[in-house]
Chain A
Amino acid sequence: MGMSFNPPYPAGTVIKGKWRGNRYVVQRVLGKGANGTVYLVQREGRREQYALKIGNDTLELQSEINMLTSLQSCKMRSEHRSRREMPLSSYLLESDDFGDTGNIPFYVMRYVEGRPLHHFLAKRGASWLGLIGMKLLEELNKLHVCGFVFGDLKPENVMVSDYGHAELIDYGGASPLGRSVKQFTEWHDRGFWNAGSRVGDESYDLFSFAVLCLRLLNEAGLKAAAGQLPQTRNVDELLKLARNLPDKQLGAWLCVALKGGFAGSAQAAKVWKEQIYSKRQQRMETMATPAWLKGAFALSLFVLVFTLYWVFF
C-alpha cells in the first residue's frame, strides 16, 4: 500500500533496478493509469526508448506483471509454433524494484508510439475504423487464446501510429478468462448497461469493443443513453444507436456483439473481416463516377468526333 499520489519523477531521474541492476533515465510522463504512472525512458547509454511503469501498489503491479509474464510465454509459444519471422513483440521486458529502500516496483515494456484511438479517428476520419478494428479484434483474439480477457477496453487504451497501426496498451485490467473483471470503465462495461454479468469472457471484450465503436462514431448519442436512470438504462438504447449508423453492415455487426451473439472473438474477427474490413475494396470498385469526370469524358468524345470529322472530311 502507500506510495500513491506521489508527484511524478522529473526528466533525468535515473531508475536503477535493485535485483537486475539495469539503469533507466526518465524522459517524460506518458500517462497515468489506475495502478501507476507510465514514463518514457531510455536505457542508460543506449538509444532505444521504452515505456516504464511505476506502481502505486506492489501487489497490484505484481499481479499485472504475473499476467504479462504468462501472456508473454503463451505468445512466444504460439509464435514459435507458427514459425513466423517477426520481431518478438514483447509485452514485458523486465521487472524490478528501485528507490532508497528498494521497494518501489516497476516494469519495462516496449514503447508504442502514436496517439490514442479517439484522437486518431477525430483527425483522420471514421474510414480508418475498418482497418483498426480488424487489428484490435485480432489482438483480442490472441489474448483470448492465451486464456485472458482485456477487461478495460476503451479508446484511451488503444495507441495508433501515424500509419494506422493499432496496439493495445495498459493491460492492468486484464484477468484470466472466467474470473471477475476487476477494472472497467462505466460506458464500456457490460454490467453498466444491464446487458450481462461482469464475468470476464470473450463476449465481455466484444461488448466493450462495440461500445468503443459507438463512442467513436456517435459519442453524443452514447452519452445521452448513458445518462438515463440506472433502472431504465438498457442495451436496447445501444442497439438503437448501432442500427442508426449510416454504415448498415457495421451496425449489424455491433448489434450481434452487444447481444453477445458471437461464439467468440475468432468468429467476430472473421465476420468483421468479411463484412466490414473487406468491404472497403468493393466500395472502391463501385465508387460513383464524379460529375466532372463524366463531363470531361463527354468533352473528349466530342473532340474526338470533331477531330475525326475534320481529318476525314
Chain B
Amino acid sequence: MKQILLITDGCSNVGESPVLAAGYAWREGIAVNVIGVVDEGTIGELGSREIADIAKAGGGLSRIVGTPQLAQTVQMLTRKTVVQTIQQAVNKEVHKILGESSLTQLPPEQRSQMVSVVDELTETSPLRVALLIDASASMKPKLAAVEDAVRDLALSLEARKGRSEIAVFHFPGRSGGEDAQLDLDFTGQIGQVRSLFPKLKMRGATPTGPAIFRVIEAFKGSGSTDEPRALLTGKEHDDREGMIGGYVV
C-alpha cells in the first residue's frame, strides 16, 4: 500500500492544482491524506475546501486540527487509510464471491471472519508512506509539532508486523526550480526520521500541486507496487526496494 500524507496550513498558490495532482496519485494507486494544521483561528474557507478536495480526489481522508492533536491525527489517519484500502479490496472480493454489496451486509459469522482477514492484512501488509510537509513561512512555528507527529508515526509504523517504509519531502524546494525536496528517501529504518528537521528552511510560496507530482515520481522511481489486489494474493515485495532504502540526502 502506498500513501502520501500532506501536512499544510493553507492554500496552494503556485503551479498545477493539488486536487488534480491528487487525482493522478490515486490513479497510480497512491492514497492521499491531508492534514490542515492551525495554530490560532481557522484555516479559512478556501483553504479548508482545498484540503477536503485533495483528500477526496486522492482517495484518502482529511482533518483540520490544532498542533496539540497533530501527532494523534497523523497516526490515526494513516491507520484508517490502511484499513480502508484493505477493506475496499476485501469488499470487492466479497462482492465477487457472495454477491453481497459490502461487508456491512454480511451475516455476523461471515462478517467476523472477513474482519479477521482485514485485521491481519492491516497489521502485516507492506506499507509505504511519503510525508509531504508544507515548509512555507507560515508553517515555521508549527514545525516542532510536525516533528513530534512524524516521530510518533514512526513509532506506530515500527510496531507493525509488516514491512513499513517512510520517506520525507518538504516543499517548496531549496532552489526556485525545485517543487519539493527529498529529505529522507524511502527507508525501513524508521528511526532516521528523528534526526531530520534541523535542515528544513522555510520559504514563501506554496506549490502544493507540483510537490504532489514530485512525490508520485518518487514512488514510481523506487520500484515495487503493492496494489490492494496483490495483497490478497500474497504478492512478494520487489527486491530492489531493500537496496535503495536507508540513506539521507
Chain A interface residues (CB < 8 Å from chain B): 1, 19, 58-59, 62-63, 65-66, 69, 95-97, 103, 105, 178-182, 186, 191-192, 197-200, 229-230
- Beyond A69-B112, A180-B161, A182-B79: 18 further Cβ-contacts under 8 Å? A1-B84, A19-B108, A59-B115, A62-B111, A62-B112, A63-B115, A63-B118, A65-B112, A66-B116, A96-B108, A178-B161, A179-B159, A179-B161, A186-B71, A197-B155, A198-B159, A229-B144, A230-B147
Determine whether the beta carbon of B152 is less than 8 Å from that of A191. yes
Find chain B residues with CB under 8 A from A97 CB: 108
Find chain A residues with CB under 8 A from B107 CB: 19
> What are 17 residue pairs bridging A and B, where the CB atoms are less than 8 Å apart in the complex?
A19-B107, A58-B104, A62-B111, A62-B112, A63-B115, A66-B116, A179-B123, A179-B161, A180-B123, A180-B161, A186-B71, A191-B155, A197-B158, A197-B159, A198-B155, A199-B159, A230-B144
Main secondary structure of the interface of B (DSSP, over half): helix
C-alpha spacing A200/B161, complex, angstroms: 11
Determine whether the beta carbon of B118 is less than 8 Å from that of A59. yes
Determine whether the beta carbon of A180 is less than 8 Å from that of B115. no
- B162 smallest CB distance to A (angstroms): 10
C-alpha spacing A179/B162, complex, angstroms: 10
C-alpha spacing A153/B87, complex, angstroms: 28
Determine whether the beta carbon of A186 is less than 8 Å from that of B159. no
C-alpha spacing A197/B155, complex, angstroms: 7
Residue from A59, A95, A96, A197 with most neighbouring chain B CB atoms (10 Å): A59
Find chain B residues with CB under 8 A from A63 CB: 115, 118-119
Assess whether B142 is interfacial by the CB under 8 Å rule: no
Say which residue of B108, B116, B159 sits within 8 Å of A180 (CB atoms). B159
CB within 8 Å of A: which of B104-155?
A: 104-105, 107-108, 111-112, 115-116, 118-119, 123, 144, 147-148, 151-152, 155
Find chain B residues with CB under 8 A from A229 CB: 144
Known: A230-B148, A230-B151. A59 touches B112 (CB 8 A): no
Determine whether the beta carbon of A59 is less than 8 Å from that of B87. yes
Find chain A residues with CB under 8 A from B161 CB: 178-180
C-alpha spacing A229/B151, complex, angstroms: 12
C-alpha spacing A198/B147, complex, angstroms: 18
Find chain A residues with CB under 8 A from B147 CB: 230
C-alpha spacing A267/B104, complex, angstroms: 42
Q: Mark B160-195, 1 if CB is under 8 A from A, else 0.
A: 110000000000000000000000000000000000
C-alpha spacing A192/B68, complex, angstroms: 13
Find chain B residues with CB under 8 A from A103 CB: 104-105
Residue from B87, B105, B156 with most neighbouring chain A CB atoms (10 Å): B156
Find chain A residues with CB under 8 A from B116 CB: 66
Find chain A residues with CB under 8 A from B115 CB: 59, 62-63, 66
The residue on A at minimum CB distance from B115 is A62
Assess whether B64 is interfacial by the CB under 8 Å rule: no
The residue on A at minimum CB distance from B83 is A59
C-alpha spacing A179/B155, complex, angstroms: 13
C-alpha spacing A192/B119, complex, angstroms: 24
Chain B interface residues (CB < 8 Å from chain A): 71-72, 79, 83-84, 87, 103-105, 107-108, 111-112, 115-116, 118-119, 123, 144, 147-148, 151-152, 155-156, 158-161
Determine whether the beta carbon of B159 is less than 8 Å from that of A66. no
C-alpha spacing A144/B71, complex, angstroms: 28
C-alpha spacing A59/B90, complex, angstroms: 12
- B72 smallest CB distance to A (angstroms): 7
C-alpha spacing A105/B103, complex, angstroms: 12
The residue on A at minimum CB distance from B90 is A59
C-alpha spacing A122/B248, complex, angstroms: 51
Determine whether the beta carbon of B123 is less than 8 Å from that of A59. no
Find chain B residues with CB under 8 A from A230 CB: 144, 147-148, 151
C-alpha spacing A96/B112, complex, angstroms: 12
Known: A58-B104, A59-B83, A103-B104. A180 touches B156 (CB 8 A): yes
- B205 smallest CB distance to A (angstroms): 29
- A59 smallest CB distance to B (angstroms): 6
Determine whether the beta carbon of B160 is less than 8 Å from that of A95. no
The residue on B at minimum CB distance from A70 is B116
Find chain B residues with CB under 8 A from A1 CB: 84
Residue from B87, B105, B119 with most neighbouring chain A CB atoms (10 Å): B119
Find chain B residues with CB under 8 A from A181 CB: 159
Say which residue of B103, B148, B155, B156 sits within 8 Å of A59 (CB atoms). B103
C-alpha spacing A230/B194, complex, angstroms: 11
C-alpha spacing A229/B147, complex, angstroms: 11
The residue on A at minimum CB distance from B116 is A66
Find chain B residues with CB under 8 A from A96 CB: 108
Residue from A63, A95, A179, A180 with most neighbouring chain B CB atoms (10 Å): A180
C-alpha spacing A69/B112, complex, angstroms: 10
C-alpha spacing A200/B123, complex, angstroms: 12
Find chain B residues with CB under 8 A from A58 CB: 103-104, 111
- A19 smallest CB distance to B (angstroms): 6
* Closest 5 pairs between A and B when the two form their complex, measured CB to CB: A180-B159, A198-B159, A191-B155, A62-B115, A230-B148
C-alpha spacing A229/B72, complex, angstroms: 16
- B86 smallest CB distance to A (angstroms): 9
